[in-house]
Amino acid sequence: MKKLLYLLMIISLVSCCKGKDDGTVKGNTDSIVVDSNNINVSILIDLSDRIDTVANPNPTMEYYQRDTEYIKAIEKGFLNHVKSKKIITYDDQMQVFFNPEPSDPKMNELTKELKVSFNKDIPKSYFDSVDKKYLELPLQIYKSAIKDREYIGSDIWEFFKNKVKDYCIKDDRRNILFILTDGYMYHENTKFDEKKEKSYKTSYLTTKLIKANNLTTSGFKDTIEKNGFGFVKANENLSNLEVIVLGINPEKGNPFEEAVIKEYWENWFKEMKIKKYQIRSADLPSNLEPIILKAISGK
């Protein structure tokens, strides 16, 4: 028995030595890059009159200022994520979208500047340049929109229908889409409804529609379910997309308006098979920043 054990030990030792000589790596995986934690962050901005400081003022903090602070927090979370990784694993990107695109070429140039990508060859100074861009350019975009008062609106439904898969989803990334909006959805180019025997779906949501559908009491959920109210499904399978909606801001007069808006969005996301989502009210940036950072870190 002792001789047999001795023989097995010799065979094992020889096998280990062969392993070191035949090109395989043992105990050192620095040269093997397996990283499924690359992220693709997108920001969809609603440039409707919700940001108008005259029509929709907020003495505590204007809504466009809240938006720019939300964007800064998103950028902070993105850079924190990149910095937490080894340089050799960098393969992350972030971008900003409008829908439809503004006619002003300057606005489109600003969004191009806000599309940033990190890879292993990026110099360390690139972090500072991204920080500078996201500190200055979003504010320029909002101020330009407010100055002209030519609000293009936001066709969120059409974005989900025709663009979200191409623009915001990559197969080898963790895809996160932030939507900055007040929660109402309306654009004249895609305003339609689908009436069936047991449902009434629309591509839009306005305070007028909420009232017309009698969603002004504590029983609004039962009314929604009974009548099949909701958004028309815009896509079939967005399971590889996480969505965070920031800035829900209901009109005053209906104490259940905010809850109705969130119910519409939540049901819409579920129908499109979006598994991870958050729908947040237009709170102060200092309150939402920890939520934004946590959403990006995934912790």
pLDDT in tens, 71-80: 999 999 999 9
Query: In the predicted model, what is the mean pLDDT of residues 193-211?
Result: 96
Q: Answer whether residue 273 shows pLDDT above 50.
A: yes
* Residue 5 binned pLDDT confidence (cut-offs 50, 70, 90): very low
CB count in 10 Å sphere of residue 155: 25
Dump pLDDT digits (tens) for 8-26. 443 343 333 333 332 222 2
Q: Answer whether residue 151 shows pLDDT above 90.
A: no
47 - beta bridge partners? 153
pLDDT of residue 213: 97
Query: In the predicted model, what is the mean pLDDT of residues 73-102?
Result: 95
Q: Answer whether residue 30 shows pLDDT above 60.
A: no
Q: Tokens 């025997």, residue?
A: 197
With b for 16 or more beta-carbon neighbours within 10 A and e for fewer, the 57-71 pattern comes to eeeeebbbbbbbbbb
215 contact partners, CB below 8 Å, separation of at least 6: 223, 224, 229, 254, 256, 260
Domain locations in the chain as residue ranges: 40-297
* Residue 66 binned pLDDT confidence (cut-offs 50, 70, 90): very high
pLDDT of residue 148: 72
Q: Which two tokens stand for residue 229?
A: 């109210």
The answer to whether 117 touches 181, Cβ cutoff 8 Å, is: no
67 contact partners, CB below 8 Å, separation of at least 6: 45, 51, 138, 142, 180, 247
* Residue 45 binned pLDDT confidence (cut-offs 50, 70, 90): very high
Q: Answer whether residue 167 shows pLDDT above 70.
A: yes
Q: Which of 106-115, 176-185, 249-258, 275-284 is predicted least confidently? A: 106-115
Verdict on whether the full-model pTM lies above 0.75:
yes
* Residue 108 binned pLDDT confidence (cut-offs 50, 70, 90): confident
Query: In the predicted model, what is the mean pLDDT of residues 43-66?
Result: 95
Cα gap 116→138, rounded to integer Å: 14
With b for 16 or more beta-carbon neighbours within 10 A and e for fewer, the 167-197 pattern comes to bbbeeebbbbbbbbbbbbbbbeebeeeeeee
Tell me which residue of 137, 116, 143, 138 sits closest to 127, measured CA to CA: 116
pLDDT of residue 102: 78
Mean pLDDT of the chain: 88
Cα gap 29→175, rounded to integer Å: 27
pLDDT of residue 14: 37
Cα gap 140→104, rounded to integer Å: 13
Q: Answer whether residue 248 shows pLDDT above 80.
A: yes
Q: Tokens 């049901």, residue?
A: 267
Q: Of 1.10.8, 3.40.50, 2.60.40, 3.30.360, which CATH number belongs to 40-297?
A: 3.40.50
Q: Answer whether residue 260 shows pLDDT above 90.
A: yes
Residues making up the chain, counted from first to last: 299
pLDDT of residue 241: 98
Query: In the predicted model, what is the mean pLDDT of residues 182-195?
Result: 95
**119 three-class SS:** strand
Is the C-alpha dihedral spanning 157, 160, 162, 168 positive or negative?
Answer: positive
The answer to whether 121 touches 17, Cβ cutoff 8 Å, is: no
* Residue 278 binned pLDDT confidence (cut-offs 50, 70, 90): very high
Strands 242-248 and 174-180: parallel
pLDDT over 90 percentage in the chain: 80
Query: In the predicted model, what is the mean pLDDT of residues 42-50?
Result: 95
Cα gap 60→62, rounded to integer Å: 7
pLDDT of residue 36: 54
